[in-house]
Amino acid sequence: MNTIVMKFGGTSVANIDRIKNVADIIKSKKKNSIKIVVVVSAMAGVTNDLCEKSKAISKNFSNEEYDVLLSSGEQVTSALLSGCLIDKGVKARSMLAWQIPIVTEGQHKNSRILSVNSKSIFKYLDEDYVVIVPGFQGISEQMKISTIGRGGSDASAVAVAKALNADRCEIFTDVEGIFTTNPQICNEAKKIEKISYDEILEMSSLGAKVMQSSSVQKAMMNNVEIFVKSTFSPEKSGTQILSDDKISYNKVITGVAYTNDDAKITLIGVKDKPGVASAIFKPLNDQNIIIDMIVQNISADSKKTDVTFTVKRDDMPKAKNIINELKKNIDYDDLLTDAKVSKVSIVGAGMITHPGVAYKMFDALSSKNINILVISTSEIRISVLVNDKNVELAVKTLHSVFELD
């Protein structure tokens, strides 16, 4: 008998009517004698509301209590969906993370899943129950409620699918699958039928909002095949995420991604000597500031260098203060910042075997007078930093040039 894991995001369970719709989808699938585990998010807006309540209570709200507070959103959804299924004549049982248990490690607010006790879940599956599991949470080895980061319900679903050795993991959202780019800014965007783990991992980390990048990584490591589908048109096939050896690449580029929360920091005239890069980035790392794109330009006499890097826009003030403090130990001429920048990226495993992709990208942007500020690459991705005002034009131009329309 097949076992599947179905995950429903916040928009899918946003209100009572939508929860009833989700219950109908589950009931329809249950007719095929499939063992079903459902992972749910909090109802849309609930998590943000709980965050605001914590801020209203205290500017330094306890991290441990923050996890207890936020995890309640998914618990509410689990109970409501389970009760709805029972009302529709389907045997259902909600199981909270501590009851399974889903064991985590790491810091509060951003823990990682260590293990899932599949035996406790199979006990109810073998009795023909649909098991409802709240996503985004677990319990630490110290028996404290933990959460695994915003968007973590995807990671919960993948971890449960792995533990159960499920046949598939279906991620239900408010779109029909993964698109070549954001349809809201590019009307010509189209649904991708199949995409590799590597490609969606790049697109997720580059701003595509469909799946959490750590969830994709966990799926890739454990070879869990994922189907991204729409809650509002469940009959459609959606997008399948699987290993690249199961995909035939007929296009060089699979998709265009972008971010709109970047900031650029440049240290001008840094005295070039061994260890200077470490001295710059260590204190930023110590403050949990994530560094993305990095470019270093060395002067002709090799005595000075300019160091440019990007951080999340919200982190720029803190990063700037840290760099200013470094003036005591690092000799540099000036510090420049720019919070009006965005990253635009093309992603595609096909570029590994096709030369000239970078030239084609740069030439297309040049033809629209879009200036490139920073460039970074990987084997299947080219990213450029551009001015905020050029993002939409850049995305549409690249989408057309690489024949994704």
Report which DSSP code applies to 247.
Answer: -
Model's pTM, two decimal places? 0.81
Which of 405, 255, 268 lies closest to 330 in space, CA to CA?
Answer: 268
Query: Within a domain: residue 181?
Result: no
CATH code where residue 287 lies: 3.30.2130.10
pLDDT for position 298:
76
Report which DSSP code applies to 211.
Answer: S
CATH code where residue 155 lies: 3.40.1160.10
* Alpha carbons 270 and 338: distance in angstroms, whole number: 19
Residues 304-317 have a mean pLDDT of 91
Do 155 and 14 reside in the same domain of the chain?
yes
> Residue 15 — very low, low, confident or very high, per pLDDT cuts 50/70/90?
very high
Please give the single-letter amino acid code of residue 279: A
CB 67 within 8 A of CB 75: no
Q: In angstroms, how far apart are the furthest CA atoms of the chain?
A: 78
Taking only the tens place, the pLDDT of each residue in 30-74 is 877 899 999 999 999 999 999 999 999 998 999 999 999 999 999
> Residue 266 — very low, low, confident or very high, per pLDDT cuts 50/70/90?
very high
Average pLDDT, the chain: 90
Question: Which token pair is 293?
Answer: 């794109």
Query: Within a domain: residue 223?
Result: no
Do 170 and 313 reside in the same domain of the chain?
no
Q: Is the dihedral of CA 68, 41, 52, 315 positive or negative?
A: positive
Residue that is written with structure tokens 């034009």 in the block? 393
Q: Is the dihedral of CA 65, 67, 68, 72 positive or negative?
A: positive
Report which DSSP code applies to 179.
Answer: B
* Alpha carbons 197 and 187: distance in angstroms, whole number: 25
Instruction: Give the strand pairing for 137-140 and 102-105.
Output: parallel
Do 265 and 143 reside in the same domain of the chain?
no
Query: Within a domain: residue 102?
Result: yes
Do 40 and 166 reside in the same domain of the chain?
yes
Query: Within a domain: residue 319?
Result: yes
Query: Within a domain: residue 192?
Result: no
* Alpha carbons 112 and 82: distance in angstroms, whole number: 26
pLDDT for position 386:
96
Residues 151-159 have a mean pLDDT of 89
Do 12 and 140 reside in the same domain of the chain?
yes
Query: Within a domain: residue 249?
Result: no
> Residue 273 — very low, low, confident or very high, per pLDDT cuts 50/70/90?
confident
Query: Within a domain: residue 247?
Result: no
> Which range marks the domain in which residue 152 is found?
3-174
Do 142 and 9 reside in the same domain of the chain?
yes
Q: Which of 122, 143, 174 is the last residue of a domain?
A: 174
Do 167 and 25 reside in the same domain of the chain?
yes
> Residue 208 — very low, low, confident or very high, per pLDDT cuts 50/70/90?
low
* Count of beta carbons in the 10 Å neighbourhood of residue 320: 15
Query: Within a domain: residue 330?
Result: yes
- Angle between helix axes 46-57 and 63-87 (nearest 10 degrees) is 150
Which of 343, 375, 379, 349 lies closest to 362 in space, CA to CA?
Answer: 375
Q: Which of 131, 159, 174 is the last residue of a domain?
A: 174
Peptide bond into 183 cis (omega under 30): no
Question: Which token pair is 136?
Answer: 């985004």
115 pLDDT higher than 80:
yes
What DSSP assignment string belongs to 95-141?
Answer: --TTTTTEEEESSTTS-EEEEE-HHHHHHHHTTTPEEEEESSEEEET
1 pLDDT higher than 60:
no
Do 157 and 295 reside in the same domain of the chain?
no
Do 46 and 156 reside in the same domain of the chain?
yes
Q: How many domains does the chain have?
A: 2
Do 165 and 270 reside in the same domain of the chain?
no
Do 138 and 274 reside in the same domain of the chain?
no
pLDDT for position 275:
85
> Residue 127 — very low, low, confident or very high, per pLDDT cuts 50/70/90?
very high
* Count of beta carbons in the 10 Å neighbourhood of residue 187: 8
Q: Which of 152, 174, 196 is the last residue of a domain?
A: 174
Do 29 and 163 reside in the same domain of the chain?
yes
Report which DSSP code applies to 293.
Answer: -
* Count of beta carbons in the 10 Å neighbourhood of residue 311: 23
* Alpha carbons 129 and 125: distance in angstroms, whole number: 5
H or E stretch covering 226: strand 226-230
Which of 125, 27, 46 lies closest to 85 in space, CA to CA?
Answer: 27
